[in-house]
Each structure stands twice: as structure tokens, then as C-alpha cells.
Chain A
Amino acid sequence: MQQWVVVSIIIGAYLALTLSIGLLAGRKSSDSVTGYVAADRSFGLLVMYFVTGASVFSAFAFLGGPGWAYSRGAAAFYILAYGALGMAPFYWVGPRAAALGRKFGYVTQAQLVVGRFPSRTLSALIAGLSLIAFVPYITLQMRGAGIVIEAVTDGNVPIWLGSLVAYGIVVLYVLASGAMAVGWTNTFQGVFMVIIAWSLGLYLPYRLYGGVTPMFEQIMDVRPEMLVPPGLTATGEPWSWGAYSTFIIISAVGLMMWPHLFMKAFTAKDDDTMRRTVILFPTFQLFLIPVFLIGFSGILFSGGPSSADFILPYMILETGLPAVVVGLFCAGALSASMSTGDALLHASASVVVEDGVTQFVKLDDRQRRLLMRILVLLTGTTAYYFAQDAESSLVLLLATAYGVISQLAPPVISAMYWRRATTTGVLAGLLAGTATSVFFYFNPDLRPFDMHEGVLGLIVHVPVLISVSLMTPIQNEKHLEGFFS
């Protein structure tokens, strides 16, 4: 039997298993909006841990991470640095958001913000920003799945078909089962990715160089500049400290502002579960170490893939691993892509319906669930369309989306922690911050110190929010009481 046939069989088996887990999970969930969006607030520690880990680590980490280590060296360390920093404040923020969620029945973060700052414009603005950030993110996941499948089947399954099949399955179980399916499939996919990453990350350096130490010693002799932060740019020039540092800051700020992650606060069974997830999260983060080792192992390897994002499948194919291993690896990478993609699809539909549409049209429970399902299909199709001709690097696509999403941090934090914040202040800040980051996104040469446009946005956002809030009258005491008692 040809290698690619064996690989396809393994991938097929893996996809079938994921689908059945996804469909079975939905049978436990109740038939309400809370059931679909927040899994009846029932996730325990094991599920929460892997849901969070697997939805943070996506095709971006699994393919983009090695791609950066391979082409830009130490620049990739930024991906390692931000996760734990971004997650830690959630030890306090998470339970607080959860308490407010239980009290007022919130299932999305925009509801939390708008509950405190009543404004339909604000709600629609948050839903819009989330969607703008979501589409490239989903696109990237689909493309990742397609890249992997095409590479390991010697092109017999092209990108369009691979991403179609993988995401057809995701759409199916998200439609059928909502948050429950996302939770249980992510647990399965999370375990899978961790095992694949560590075994491959240690095996490749050993096989090619005789170990991790000899590998880095050899890179040090030939390409020492690869191993020192802030690393290189895509064209091989030294990267700037300003960009390296602000990439970390914007990613840390943005991390928990992703609606699909923030909404986990509303799915946790109890606060202790959430706190333990935060404590354990850095252990998941360390899984990037073997992921980078895979990329570094390619630096001195002769030849190279057409694009850096292909380095992982390239290394696996070129080092003559048995077909079964290639198939398993492929399933691991698909796990990474699909486990984030499903959460994204699910969250984007929930956000658009709950925060966008229902602000302007009255819908009952059943209609909302139906509309969410239609939107899952629509968003999926849109992203699929873009996934067919994307050119830029996976990491850069995501870093750009982070600039948009991190503008949600000041409104969310002030909703929960700052009594003096006002609706006008929050709206003004959000508009000013977003406008600033959009401006610098399109005029990269004007950025001071090569800083990430999202950080520049925040530098404008926060002072505007504070000063406009202080200039407008404080909210009435009774309203504040509900949030701060």
C-alpha cells in the first residue's frame, strides 16, 4: 500500500472518532441558549484544562510556531512568553465575571460590558470587532488543516478538499451539540496534540543531530544570530526589540479577550475549577518547547519547504518516518487546527446573535438557537472562501487579529473594576483605540519604535477612556450597586 493511502486511512479514522465524540457529547446538553452557548455551566477541571489549552494552541502554534523558529529563530520565543502572563490575571477576573454571569444571566463578554454600560451601539461595536478578528483567525485554522493534509498525502488531497472535509466535520458537531461538543472534542484533541508535540520534538533533534544539545551547538556554529532574541524578521534582517516586546504585550492583553476564551468563564462549573485551570495553564504553555525544537531541527537540514509554515510536515516527510507515525502527526496537527476552529465558529455565532442581532430584534430562545446555527454555517463558508487563497504567514495573520481584539480589554476591565467609568467614556475610548490601531496597521512606517499597532491603540485608548469618563457624570448608585456589592 502506498504511504499516502495509509496516512489517509489514519486521518479518516481520527476524524470519525472526533465526530462521534462531538455528536455524543451533545446528548448531555439541555435544549436552551445557556445549554448551547455555555454548556449549562457544567465543565469540570479536566475538560476546562484541555478546552482552554487546546483552544489557545491552534494551527498557529502547531504550524506557525515551528515556522517561525525555522525562519526567524528566537523571534518565536515571543509566542512562549505571553501565554502565562495573559492568563494569570484571569485568576481574579474569571471568577468575578462568572459571578456576574450567574447573577445577571450573561453568556458573552459584550453582555457583561453592556450590562454595566447600557448602549446598543457599544454592543454592536463589540460584536462587530469580534467578528472582524474572528474571520482571519478561522481562515488561518482551515488553511492550516488543508496545508497539513495536502503535504502528507503528496498532494493527492489538495488544500481545498482537506480543509473542506476537516471543517465539514467541525461544522457538523458544532451545529449539533454547541459548547458541549467543543468541550469534549477539545479534551480528546488536547491530549493528542501534547503527546504528538513532545514525542516529535524530542525525536527529530535526536534522529538528525544526536540530541537537543548537539543540535543547538551546531546551529550556534553556523547561524548564531538565530538563537538570540529578538531574532530575525521574515526577510532575515534583525528584528527590533520594540516589535518583539510589544508583540508579547499585545498578545498577553488580547489573549483572554478572545470571546471564545473569555466565554469559558461562563462555562465553568465553579470558580475553583476556573482558578485551577489558570494555575495549570503554564504547564500547557511549555508544550511550545518541543514545537520550537521541531522548527529548529529544520534550520541545518538540507533543502526546505516552499513556505516556512510548511516546515513541520516537511520535516516529517523528509526524515522517512513510517506512514503510521506521519498519519498520527497529521491527526495531531488537525487536532490543533480543529480544536480552535470549532471554538471560534461557535463563539462567533453566539456573539453575533447575542450581542448584535438580539439588541435590535426580539427573538425567542428557539429562534436564537436556529439563527446561531445558520451563522455557524455562514461564518464557516466565508472563512473557507478566504482560506483558498491566503498568502501571508499564519503567525502574522493572528498577530494582526490580536491588535483588534485587545481593544476589548479596557471596556471589560472597567466594567468590572472601575466604578467611575461611564458609557460615554468607554465608547470614546473604544473608538479612539480602534481608529489608532487601524491607522498604524495601514501606515506601518509611522509606528514609533516599531511598536505593534494594537499597543499604540491601547496607549490612546486608556487615557481617552479615563478622561472622558471623568468628564461625564458618574452612573447612578443603584446601578453600580448590582456590580460592586
Chain B
Amino acid sequence: MSLRTARILTSIYLALALFFVTWPGLKPFARVEPLVLGLPFSMAWIAGWIAGSVFVLYGLDRVERRYRDGEDS
């Protein structure tokens, strides 16, 4: 994956995360059931977007790192 694509995808993920944890994106998911791992659905939904960002940022870092290493050699 190119650096540009990785950066765009990461930005899209972050924009979607912002959309889905605020109005109006959160509205359809602002409910209690089904409980996920014992938590109300909306709480798990928000936590899920946060946990997801770890993986997205990790992926971005791998691409950025490869690009930086290539630049050095």
C-alpha cells in the first residue's frame, strides 16, 4: 500500500469514527440492547471505534515505517 493511500484510509477511518460517535451518526446506535460483553450497545459501539483505531494506526505505522526506511537507504 502506498503512503498516500494509507494516510487517506486512516483519515477516512478517523472521520467515520467522529461521525459515528456524535450526532447524527450515533443516533441509530443509541440504544441499550443487545448488550455486548455485558455493556449497553452504545457504550460498546463507542469503545469499538476506539479499539479499532489502535489497529488502523498500527497499520498506518507499518506503511509509514517502510516508507521512512526506504528513504534512508
A residues at B contact (CB < 8 Å): 74, 77, 80-81, 83-85, 88-89, 91, 211-213, 215-217, 220, 224, 227-230, 241-242, 244-245, 248-249, 252, 275-276, 278-280, 282-283, 285-286, 289, 292
Q: Cβ of B64: which chain A residues have Cβ within 8 Å of it?
A: 275
The answer to whether A283 touches B54, judged by C-beta atoms less than 8 angstroms apart, is yes
The answer to whether A213 touches B35, judged by C-beta atoms less than 8 angstroms apart, is yes
How many Å lie between the Cα of A433 and that of B52 in the bound state? 33
How many Å lie between the Cα of A178 and that of B59 in the bound state? 36
A77 and B46 in contact (CB under 8 A), knowing A88-B57, A227-B40?
yes
- With A85-B14, A229-B30, A282-B57 given, name 10 new contacts (CB 8 A): A74-B40, A77-B43, A81-B50, A216-B32, A220-B33, A227-B40, A228-B42, A244-B23, A279-B61, A286-B47
Q: Cβ of A286: which chain B residues have Cβ within 8 Å of it?
A: 47, 50-51
B46 to chain A, nearest CB (A): 5
Among A211, A224, A227, A279, the residue within 8 A (CB) of B38 is A211
- Residue pairs across A and B with Cβ atoms less than 8 A apart, 13 shown, are A74-B30, A84-B50, A88-B10, A88-B14, A88-B53, A88-B57, A215-B38, A217-B35, A220-B33, A228-B31, A241-B27, A244-B23, A280-B54
The answer to whether B57 touches A289, judged by C-beta atoms less than 8 angstroms apart, is no
Q: Say yes or no: is B58 at the interface (Cβ < 8 Å to chain A).
A: yes
The answer to whether B43 touches A80, judged by C-beta atoms less than 8 angstroms apart, is yes
The answer to whether A228 touches B30, judged by C-beta atoms less than 8 angstroms apart, is yes
How many Å lie between the Cα of A224 and that of B14 in the bound state? 30
Q: Cβ of A228: which chain B residues have Cβ within 8 Å of it?
A: 30-32, 40, 42
Secondary structure type dominating chain B contacts: helix
Among B10, B17, B38, B51, the residue within 8 A (CB) of A85 is B17
How many Å lie between the Cα of A217 and that of B61 in the bound state? 40
The answer to whether B53 touches A84, judged by C-beta atoms less than 8 angstroms apart, is yes
Q: Can you list the 9 inter-chain pairs with the closest CB atoms, starting with the nearest?
A: A212-B38, A245-B22, A241-B23, A213-B38, A81-B21, A279-B57, A84-B50, A227-B40, A229-B30
B44 to chain A, nearest CB (A): 9
A242 and B38 in contact (CB under 8 A), knowing A88-B53, A216-B32, A279-B58?
no
A289 and B47 in contact (CB under 8 A), knowing A85-B14, A275-B61?
yes
Q: Cβ of B8: which chain A residues have Cβ within 8 Å of it?
A: none
How many Å lie between the Cα of A252 and that of B18 in the bound state? 10
Interface residues of B in 1-49 (CB under 8 A from A): 10, 14, 17-18, 21-24, 26-27, 30-33, 35, 37-40, 42-43, 46-47, 49
Q: Cβ of A85: which chain B residues have Cβ within 8 Å of it?
A: 14, 17-18, 21, 53
Q: Cβ of A77: which chain B residues have Cβ within 8 Å of it?
A: 42-43, 46
How many Å lie between the Cα of A347 and that of B17 in the bound state? 31
Q: Cβ of B49: which chain A residues have Cβ within 8 Å of it?
A: 81, 84
Secondary structure type dominating chain A contacts: helix
Of chain B, the residue at the smallest CB distance from A215 is B38
How many Å lie between the Cα of A83 and that of B50 in the bound state? 8
The answer to whether B54 touches A282, judged by C-beta atoms less than 8 angstroms apart, is yes
The answer to whether B54 touches A279, judged by C-beta atoms less than 8 angstroms apart, is yes
How many Å lie between the Cα of A282 and that of B53 in the bound state? 7
Q: Cβ of B51: which chain A residues have Cβ within 8 Å of it?
A: 282, 286
A67 to chain B, nearest CB (A): 17
The answer to whether B50 touches A292, judged by C-beta atoms less than 8 angstroms apart, is no
B15 to chain A, nearest CB (A): 10
A282 and B50 in contact (CB under 8 A), knowing A216-B38, A229-B26?
yes
The answer to whether B46 touches A81, judged by C-beta atoms less than 8 angstroms apart, is yes
The answer to whether B32 touches A227, judged by C-beta atoms less than 8 angstroms apart, is yes
Q: Cβ of A81: which chain B residues have Cβ within 8 Å of it?
A: 21-22, 46, 49-50
Among A83, A216, A249, the residue within 8 A (CB) of B40 is A216
How many Å lie between the Cα of A278 and that of B60 in the bound state? 12
How many Å lie between the Cα of A80 and that of B17 in the bound state? 12
Q: Cβ of A245: which chain B residues have Cβ within 8 Å of it?
A: 22-23
Of chain B, the residue at the smallest CB distance from A272 is B65
The answer to whether A244 touches B32, judged by C-beta atoms less than 8 angstroms apart, is no
A53 to chain B, nearest CB (A): 13
The answer to whether A80 touches B47, judged by C-beta atoms less than 8 angstroms apart, is yes
Of chain A, the residue at the smallest CB distance from B22 is A245
Of chain A, the residue at the smallest CB distance from B17 is A85
Among B23, B24, B35, B53, the residue within 8 A (CB) of A216 is B35
The answer to whether A74 touches B43, judged by C-beta atoms less than 8 angstroms apart, is yes
The answer to whether A249 touches B22, judged by C-beta atoms less than 8 angstroms apart, is yes
The answer to whether A74 touches B42, judged by C-beta atoms less than 8 angstroms apart, is yes
How many Å lie between the Cα of A91 and that of B18 in the bound state? 17
How many Å lie between the Cα of A245 and that of B51 in the bound state? 20
Q: Cβ of B22: which chain A residues have Cβ within 8 Å of it?
A: 81, 244-245, 248-249
Q: Cβ of A279: which chain B residues have Cβ within 8 Å of it?
A: 54, 57-58, 61
Q: Cβ of B23: which chain A residues have Cβ within 8 Å of it?
A: 230, 241-242, 244-245
A248 and B21 in contact (CB under 8 A), knowing A74-B42, A279-B61, A286-B50?
yes
Q: Cβ of B33: which chain A residues have Cβ within 8 Å of it?
A: 220
